[in-house]
Amino acid sequence: MFKIIFIFSLAIFSLNCFSQNVLSPELLFKVKRLSGGKVSPDGKLVLLEIRTFSIEENKGNTDLFVYDLKRGKSTQITNTAFSEMEAQWGIGNSIWFMSTENQGVQLWKMNTEGKNKTQVSAITEMDLEGFKFSPDETKLVFIAAVKMKSTLKDKHPDLPLANARLEDDLMYRHWNYWQDDTKKHLFLYEFKDNKLAVSGKDLLENEFYDGVLPPFGSSDQIAFSTDSKKIIYSCKKKKGKAFALSTNSQLYEYAIETAKTTVLTSAYLGYDSSPKYSADGNFLFWQSMAKDGFEADKNDLIVRDLRTNTDVNLTQKHDITVDDFCISPNSKFVYMIIPFKGMKQLFELEISTQALRQITTEEFDFLSIDLAGDELITTRQSMLDPTDLVSVNIKKGKTENLTNLNDDIMSKLDLPSVQERWIETTDGKKMLVWMVLPPNFDSNKKYPSVLYCQGGPQSMVSQFFSYRWNLALMASQGYIVIAPNRRGLPGFGQEWNDAISKDWGGQAMNDYLAAVDNISNEPYIDVNRIGCVGASYGGYSAYYLAGIHKGRFKTFISHCGLFNLESWYGTTEELFFANWDNKGPYWLPENKEYYAKNSPHNFVQNWNTPILVIHGGMDFRVPESEGIQAYQAAQLKGLRSKYLYFPKEGHWITTPQNGILWYREFFEWLDTDLKK
């Protein structure tokens, strides 16, 4: 009896040891999340933000760190219960940041040791959301929410407990929030003798617009001129229906001395964003899309010579799109992050010749970019590596990890492996498919597998380490993950990227099936245990494939997927996206055939496979009614189905406990159908 108990205990111990040696949802929320990477004015230090999460308290907190490039060491300079945000360098290596430590969100200043910490602002009449200092530190711009219109409570003050909204135009909600009575305006404040002026100038006074592109725009959409006399900001000055139908943002120049605002980019019809001045003040750079209404258009880099007022499209002749960039001090080179063949790589562009040179080639995504002498300082990640700070030799492309932030967790794990595969599609093209194999993979065994369908739809399946859809975590549960870069993704030329628009249910679906059929020829793939999962357009893909897969898949999971394109068109908010990618209103006679062919709900009669539907109640890009319709259809057809609903989450699951719950239900569903 003792022997039996001993053997059973040993088996349980072995299982526990195994479970502790692979990535789990709980461990994922213990991983430190690094961002920032801005180099100090003297080129010796790097400013970092590190976010950690408490599962028990169900929240995160961000602290600031400084990395010394010479000493090769990072130092934590804040350690509070309040997140420090928007950290920026000032003159003399001073550090400016925002914090909720006192009187709401306010501006603070300290030195590189975290000492001499001083609260600079005490503004209570507005909610501060970001800031930008002028190069000479005599002025700053606050991003602040200000009330711009009356509400029903203002109209009916005798009904304080009434709870209602009254709308008379579109864009009354956006992504995961309802439009309220405020707009994010830009306020210019004087800053002299280390004191902030009592009041500031509203650069958009009486204008019912956001001064930065909503909903994710921040201080990176604001730039002071090198002489501190002008402010450039990116703004889409459109209202209601016009805002919903257009991506045409502009760069605006505000001259501080004359208080005059000038439009700089009226000749450019799509998104214009991320303005940056050269160090000598002679050039203005920005990212620009050519087509109005196409949010995933080629993102070109434009430079304006301010001495002659002439523009040059630096990337026009290159079949690339630009994610981010920085400018060399001598204004001769631009360094860029470019999606390229399933990775985000660093490139150098010579301004005079427009010659393009790839700097990095390793299988990583580079996420930020700044200069320190002949080195690029950047952050990077891969499917197996959380974000770390890295230096890159510009000439040789040699990389060196400056931090190993999560070694205490990752070094103890048996990690998956990643393979790069190129397969032939049904129309004779070559497609990159990432294969993520389970830890201790044995090619002599047979494994269950999961087809991962990417969202976007124009969002590359790159070397991302996601906290929402972590492919390494999926593989760590014993699944082979098949992740195709199907039609419609950047990094493979603009033709490949554009091919998804107005063909959602066409070649992209064939690409998915081609990937599954090709990989299924491998002896280690159990063809009787293949699942299909995805979110957003990936969730649409799961719904669509459920109607056409002809027995390839044994189960489906759709998170925030589009089920009925007609009802989705009638409830989504950014209609420019729906118009560009899905031809426009379903009621137009010329669109009837398109909606019939491309809407998943028209193929429900073929559904015969279990499906888990997940949706967030605050998702206004793909409203919850899409998930409810799909779940109800599955139930009425008698399929094993469940509806996992998060009433306070939007398009993404963001809080720790909801995230862990999501993963637990996700894997329980897969295990039930694929690990029998």
Cis check for the bond before 329: say yes or no (omega within 30 of 0): no
Per the annotation, the verdict on 220 as an active-site residue is no
Distance CA 184, CA 619 (A): 21
The Cβ of residue 170 has, within 10 Å, a number of other Cβ atoms equal to 17
* 25 to 155, 467, 588: CA distances (angstroms): 48, 9, 46
The DSSP line for 172-219 is SEETTEE--SEEEEEEEEEEETTEE-SS-EETTTT--S-SS-TTT--G
Per the annotation, the verdict on 536 as an active-site residue is yes
What's the sign of the alpha-carbon dihedral 83, 89, 95, 96? negative
Distance CA 74, CA 76 (A): 7
**H/E stretch holding 407:** helix 407-410
Contacts of 278 (CB under 8 A, 6+ apart): 226, 284, 285, 327, 331
Distance CA 52, CA 66 (A): 17
Per the annotation, the verdict on 391 as an active-site residue is no
* 610 to 551, 627, 637: CA distances (angstroms): 12, 15, 10
Task: Give the active site residue among 24, 619, 641, 673.
Answer: 619
Task: Give the active site residue among 74, 536, 541, 641.
Answer: 536
Helix (H, G, I), strand (E, B) or coil at 475: helix
Residue 107, phi then psi, degrees to nearest 5: -90, 135
Distance CA 234, CA 225 (A): 14
Buried b (16+ CB within 10 A) or exposed e, 626-642: bbebbbebbeeeebebb
Tokens coding 666: 């996700």
Contacts of 345 (CB under 8 A, 6+ apart): 337, 338, 358, 359, 360, 361, 366
Please report which residue ranges of 491-574 form alpha helices under DSSP H.
494-498, 507-519, 537-546, 565-569
Buried b (16+ CB within 10 A) or exposed e, 20-42: eebbbbebbbebbbbebbbbbee
Residue 263, strand partner residues: 252
Distance CA 322, CA 345 (A): 10
What's the sign of the alpha-carbon dihedral 660, 663, 667, 670? positive
Q: Which contacts (CB < 8 Å, 24+ apart) does range 149-153 have?
A: 149/181, 149/208, 150/181, 151/180, 151/181
SS3 content of the chain, % helix, strand, coil (to 5): 20, 35, 45
- What's the distance, CA 169 to chain centroid? 28
Distance CA 674, CA 676 (A): 6
Give the active site residues.
Answer: 536, 619, 651
